[in-house]
Structure 1
Amino acid sequence: MTAVATPVREERGLGRRSLLSFAGSATSALLGFLLVVVLARFLGDADSGIVLQAIAVFMIALGFARFGMDSTAVWLLPRLADDEPQQLRATAWFLIAVSGVAGSLCAVVVWIGAGIAAQGNPADPLPPVVRVSAVFLPIAAMLLTALAVSRALGRIAEYVLIGGIGLPAARLLAVLAAVLLGAALSGVMLAWALPAAIALALALVVVARQLRGLGASAGARFFGTELPTRTLGFAGPRVISAALEQMLLWISVLVVGAVAGAAAAGVYGAASRFVAAGMIVDSAIRVVFAPVFSRMQHRGAEGEVRELHRTATSWLVLFSAPVFLLLAIFAPVALSVLGPDFTSGAATLAVMCVGALVAFLAGNVQTILLTAGRSGLAAINKAVVVAVNVALIPPFVAMWGIVGAAWAWTIACVIDAVLAWCEIRFLLRVRIAPDAGLAALVACVGSVGLPAVIARTVIGPSLTGLLVAAAIGLVLFAAVCRLGRIPLRLVGFTPPAPRPPEHRRPGQHSRRSARPAHHTQKSGTP
């Protein structure tokens, strides 16, 4: 199949939805950062390290608790909307229910495990905090699956408002209230976990309304068809893959805590939260593009997948690189916001920023792999990179401290991206471009990175230097985006040109209105 460029009209639709998703991801990242600030300022490095380790355990367990149902929703529901729309209602509720059952089982396992750990070391403050969070695993699993169902069915606003803004805001306010009231660490954890119950109730209402709006049939038969087997067949490997993804994000905090102590885990965890905040563009693009990739691959539109990957990669690098460059160059300034105890993680933050940028050059390759139905390959990839990460952290920390843990994480992330890219190129035989993000990276280094280096050299690693670098970089970045909007694939963010008015005699009908609209390509995006 020859390459078919994504139509500008469709790309504009993706651009608008990406901006909305980015706004939600940016708000979520900001609120998450403020949460880390609250923990660091009120609890200090050691106690905040305990809470962050408990959150790490919760997030890793949540990878199992979802049972792959959120990813299955994004993969399966757009295909059913094309082929079997009468099955949407039954399939959506099946996915949410399975994640609730799996989450309950995981909650029992985590509760028992924390109890065993407490018996082995009664003085350890971590197990009681973990036990508090375990109760909310089924709620969080159903919440993530319900939100995934919502966006798979074409809605982004509700996903953003509930998952990207409402839940992080409620958590921040609840934790702030807990620490101001002098709550114990278990109380702080309860305050963090409890808002998920309210978010779940709202998400279920949204899904029910969406299904009614789509006219999804309530009487369609689900069990006794191939859908349960198809669903669980995709989800099985995805359970392992999702859990390993969370381990890649969070296990470093646990291993650093075990090797170097709770204070080191607090510093490393704070640095990693800055990097997570810088990944908001990746999250925003994945939310919007994943269902589109799934539909295109289902229709065999390889050319469109290739072009969409180019666009997504260019946007990913272009809008995330400025954040990572500023964080890396002014790492001491960023971490000083948390307190003087955290500035020791400056080199750690810089290394992780560079690692994230290199991995982003491959684009959303993991998303393409999953939406192609290759959840098994994704699981194998995650197993490899988590094994590499866990194996490298102890010797690297012994040699270089928590900077060594950052290098281990960076190596693992790059391996993850390279494996997925090679599998798409050589196993799926989709000829995605290896240089899709290079132009965007060069643009960002020239417009943001170079002025930031000059500002740090001349003014120093201070808040003034950071503000000057950000101001100059913003102006130059905007100019580069304007001048290079075509090679940077930014046409999707520009408003459509107004049509000239049609001049016709009274009573004469427009030719355009007399003909049915037609599309520029057979397989348009949703």
Structure 2
Amino acid sequence: MAAVTFRRGLAGVSAAAFSALAQFVLVVVVTRAYPAAEAGGFFTATALALMVAGVAKLDAGNGLIYFIARARTYGYRGISGYLRAALVPCVLVAAGAAVVLYPRIGPLAALLPVMVVVDVLLAATRGFGSLRPTVLLDGMLVPACQLVLVATAALAGVAATWLPVAWGAPYLPALVLAAAGLRGRAPRTAYLPGTLRDLWRYTAPRSAAGAIQAVFQRVDIVIVAVLAGPASAAVYTAATRFKVVGQLANQGLAQAVQTGLVRALAEGERERAGELYQAATVWLVLLTWPVWLAYAGLAPWVLRLFGPSYGAAVPVALVLAGTMMVATACGMVDVVLTAAGHTGTSLLNLLAAVGCTVLLDLTLVPAHGALGAVAGWSGGVLVKNLLPLWQLHRRYGLHPFGRHTLAALRVRGWAAA
């Protein structure tokens, strides 16, 4: 079991690293090929699309993981009904959002339902214990195709207004392949009574939390664009591009251990849950801290890759690096909290984090631009991680570091387990 968890975690983090690199290169291409105002418009449109898609998916994917992981004991009977119960509301919300957003982001809005369905289907495959579709599609195919299509459009001199379409197009083949990945795993069966009620009774609090999390991850770019202009949004996006490393690495490890955490906590195996939490934390620190330290030290040179005017954002990079080191040292606290069933508490934590970010942004961005925005984001990140860290300690005695930390580093021992 430990060897499987380690391999899955390594695969997830490898995909996260590839995705982060592809996104970084994409930002370099766009900032080099287009004026800051046009680049900022593109970054704002894609951030808005990701934020709205994150809201529209209603966190149905995590709900599916929860029910599919628990359904293994009775042969996954009725799981196709859970899939339908999860997908229909998400598609309807995404379609409504697409209509509203079309005047703002153009044809990219039409791809919002596709983005949402891809996310839900990939979550379902993880519920069945298969991480490969998520790694290959979400971690590699989509970011690689986005980079190729956007770079091709930039080299061809395509107007910046069409870049969001090139960025969103890879979700179409990802949809087909994600659906193929579920074929045979969830045969169509009769719809069991109570399926819709059970799924959304569990998922509803997480839907709100997932929506807030999606807003939290992207709202800073939108606020900068509104309060300081698209050029400042481009500078802020470039300087904070590396924050995706922490987000994706955490996501990659979380995808690998989430199902195991749900099972361990549901069965009262607190020791096993603590082992998974500490193992994921130490690997998250070891894999990301070198990135943050290198970024802090090399920021004056790295930022110039985006263009001469971006070098002034070094203070933004330093705040980003320090904040992410603290956050990763806390581990995937929110994943553990929700795996234990405390979805309402997670929602309150996220509300506090978003409130902190928005309040600080509105106060600081008009006067300090990108630096004010990263200060607001930093405050929200600290709240988002330190609150659940304290709650896990108080309720379960779980800690990100402990006696399982050193054991997790013995890769040979894991492989032999």
Alpha-carbon contact 1:306-1:430 (below 8 Å) kept: no
User: Cα gap change, 1:435/1:24 in structure 2, threshold over 3 Å: closer, same or farther?
Assistant: closer
User: Cα gap change, 1:172/1:487 in structure 2, threshold over 3 Å: closer, same or farther?
Assistant: same
Structure with bigger helix share is 2
The corresponding residue for 1:219 is 189
Distance 1:137 1:175 in 2: 18
Deviation at 1:288, TM superposition (A): 0.2
The corresponding residue for 1:98 is 89
Deviation at 1:434, TM superposition (A): 5.6
Alpha-carbon contact 1:16-1:493 (below 8 Å) kept: no
Match of 2:321 among 343, 353, 356: 353
Distance 2:337 2:88 in 1: 26
Query: Relative CO higher for 1 or 2, CA cutoff 8 Å, sep ≥ 6?
Result: 2
What percent identity do the matched residue pairs reach? 26
Alpha-carbon contact 1:73-1:95 (below 8 Å) kept: yes
Alpha-carbon contact 2:208-2:347 (below 8 Å) kept: yes
Deviation at 1:347, TM superposition (A): 1.1
Distance 1:283 1:185 in 2: 30
Question: Once structures 1 and 2 are overlaid, which stretch shifts more, 97-106 or 401-410?
Answer: 97-106
Q: Does 1:251 align with 2:219?
A: yes
Alpha-carbon contact 1:48-1:266 (below 8 Å) kept: yes
Per-residue CA deviations over 1:450-500 (Å, capped at 9, x if unaligned) read xxxxxxxxxxxxxxxxxxxxxxxxxxxxxxxxxxx9726212465756xxx
TM-score, normalised by the number of residues in structure 2? 0.94
> Could you say what the CA RMSD is over the residues aligned between the two structures, in angstroms?
2.1
User: Cα gap change, 1:221/1:330 in structure 2, threshold over 3 Å: closer, same or farther?
Assistant: same
- Please list, as runs of the form range in 1=range in 2, the aligned pairs for 1:120-131 lying within 5 A after superposition: 127=104, 130-131=105-106
User: Cα gap change, 1:299/1:268 in structure 2, threshold over 3 Å: closer, same or farther?
Assistant: same
The corresponding residue for 1:414 is 382
User: Cα gap change, 1:496/1:325 in structure 2, threshold over 3 Å: closer, same or farther?
Assistant: same
User: Cα gap change, 1:297/1:191 in structure 2, threshold over 3 Å: closer, same or farther?
Assistant: same
Per-residue CA deviations over 1:87-115 (Å, capped at 9, x if unaligned) read 2233234323432222212222323xx4x
The corresponding residue for 1:480 is none
Per-residue CA deviations over 1:9-57 (Å, capped at 9, x if unaligned) read x222211111111221111111111111111111132111100111111
State the AA in 2 paired with 1:322: P
Distance 2:116 2:128 in 1: 19
Per-residue CA deviations over 1:402-447 (Å, capped at 9, x if unaligned) read 2222121111101111121233333xx21112645xx9xxxxxxxx
- Which entry has the higher C-alpha Rg, 1 or 2? 1
State the AA in 2 paired with 1:346: V
3-state SS of paired residue (1:135)? helix
The corresponding residue for 2:57 is 66
Distance 2:414 2:276 in 1: 19
Alpha-carbon contact 1:11-1:491 (below 8 Å) kept: no
The corresponding residue for 1:431 is 397
Deviation at 1:139, TM superposition (A): 0.4
- Please list, as runs of the form range in 1=range in 2, the aligned pairs for 1:59-458 lying within 5 A after superposition: 59-83=50-74, 85-111=76-102, 114=103, 127=104, 130-209=105-184, 211=185, 216=186, 218-222=188-192, 224=193, 226-426=194-394, 429-433=395-399, 435-436=401-402
Distance 1:40 1:34 in 2: 10
Alpha-carbon contact 1:355-1:413 (below 8 Å) kept: yes
Distance 1:363 1:281 in 2: 11
State the AA in 1 paired with 2:306: L
The corresponding residue for 2:38 is 47
Alpha-carbon contact 1:45-1:341 (below 8 Å) kept: no
Distance 1:96 1:138 in 2: 10
User: Cα gap change, 1:217/1:60 in structure 2, threshold over 3 Å: closer, same or farther?
Assistant: closer
Alpha-carbon contact 1:396-1:404 (below 8 Å) kept: yes
Alpha-carbon contact 2:34-2:160 (below 8 Å) kept: no
Per-residue CA deviations over 1:260-304 (Å, capped at 9, x if unaligned) read 221111010112222213443212211101111111112111121
Structure 1 unmatched runs, 5+: 1-9, 115-126, 440-484, 498-519, 521-526
- Please list, as runs of the form range in 1=range in 2, the aligned pairs for 1:504-519 lying within 5 A after superposition: none
Alpha-carbon contact 2:281-2:401 (below 8 Å) kept: no
Per-residue CA deviations over 1:341-387 (Å, capped at 9, x if unaligned) read 21111110110111111122221111012222322222221111111
Alpha-carbon contact 2:277-2:400 (below 8 Å) kept: no
User: Cα gap change, 1:355/1:291 in structure 2, threshold over 3 Å: closer, same or farther?
Assistant: same
Distance 2:367 2:218 in 1: 21
Distance 2:414 2:343 in 1: 37
Q: Does 1:38 align with 2:29?
A: yes
Distance 2:215 2:231 in 1: 20
Distance 1:411 1:293 in 2: 28
Distance 1:207 1:17 in 2: 19
Question: Once structures 1 and 2 are overlaid, which stretch shifts more, 178-187 or 377-386?
Answer: 178-187
